[in-house]
Chain A
Amino acid sequence: GQQLNQSPQSMFIQEGEDVSMNCTSSSIFNTWLWYKQDPGEGPVLLIALYKAGELTSNGRLTAQFGITRKDSFLNISASIPSDVGIYFCAGQRTSYDKVIFGPGTSLSVIP
């Protein structure tokens, strides 16, 4: 099936640092989504992107829909301990198509 690739696989950063992660696909997507999952819980939607080039913020989080429509980026500024978790990208090729997820980026924040 289709696959999304996320990098890095894991990150260990100091509290206060900025974080960048990305997601790539071999196919063009018309929707990119970013989720965060805490241990033992379901993922929670952070940001949704619907247009190539779109840049959207949610507090300290900023995500971008890549111009090629084959990638997306998530940045977290001034990280804090509660940012710890797994960040997933997800994509959808066309409206009403299935939503697929990347393998995730595990973020650890060192106080």
Chain B
Amino acid sequence: DGGITQSPKYLFRKEGQNVTLSCEQNLNHDAMYWYRQDPGQGLRLIYYSQIVNDFQKGDIAEGYSVSREKKESFPLTVTSAQKNPTAFYLCASIPDGRGTAFFGQGTRLTVV
């Protein structure tokens, strides 16, 4: 099946630990995005990548890092520098420049 896979769906980490969220797509889409969603809030852009080996900061990049070594993969690392990491994280891919994003199922990260 073609699609975007985020794993795991639920993730628990202790405060101070880095954690990496996985996002894989087999849609052959060029662009991939990471958004953060807090309860009752919209989607805020963390990082995005239009092509392999290139990525740009979004509006809330502080405390996060990404890599784009392969077209299919865009992992997000939530570092210990992120002050409030507990949130719902959504990955999306976009086939071309026209902006129609297709989303994964999300990863709910809880830091205790």
Which residues of A are at the interface with B, using a C-beta cutoff of 8 A? 1, 31, 33, 40-45, 48, 50, 88, 90-92, 95-104
Q: How far is the CA of A1 from the CA of B43 in the complex (A)?
A: 13
Contact of A103 among B35, B41, B45 (CB under 8 A): B41
Of the 9-residue stretches B14-22, B75-83, B102-110, which lies at the interface with chain A? Answer: B102-110
Nearest CB of chain B from residue A65's CB, rounded to whole Å: 13
Q: Which residues of A contact B56 (CB under 8 A)?
A: 98
Whether the pair B99, A99 counts as a contact (CB closer than 8 A) is yes
Chain B positions within 8 Å of A, measured between CB atoms, are: 31, 33, 35, 41-45, 48, 50, 56, 58-59, 88, 90, 92, 94, 97-106, 108
Is the CB–CB distance between A45 and B102 below 8 Å?
yes
- Bound form: Cα–Cα A41–B106 in Å: 6
Name the B residues within 8 Å of A31 (CB-CB): 98-99
Interface SS of B by simple majority: strand
> Interface residues of A: mostly helix, strand, loop or mixed?
loop
Tell me if B42 and A95 are in contact (CB < 8 A).
Answer: no
Q: State the CA gap A43–B37 with chains docked (Å).
A: 11
- B4 CB, min distance to chain A CBs, angstroms: 8
**8 Å CB contact of A43 from B41, B98, B103:** B103
Q: Provide the bound-state CA to CA distance between A98 and B42, in Å.
A: 16
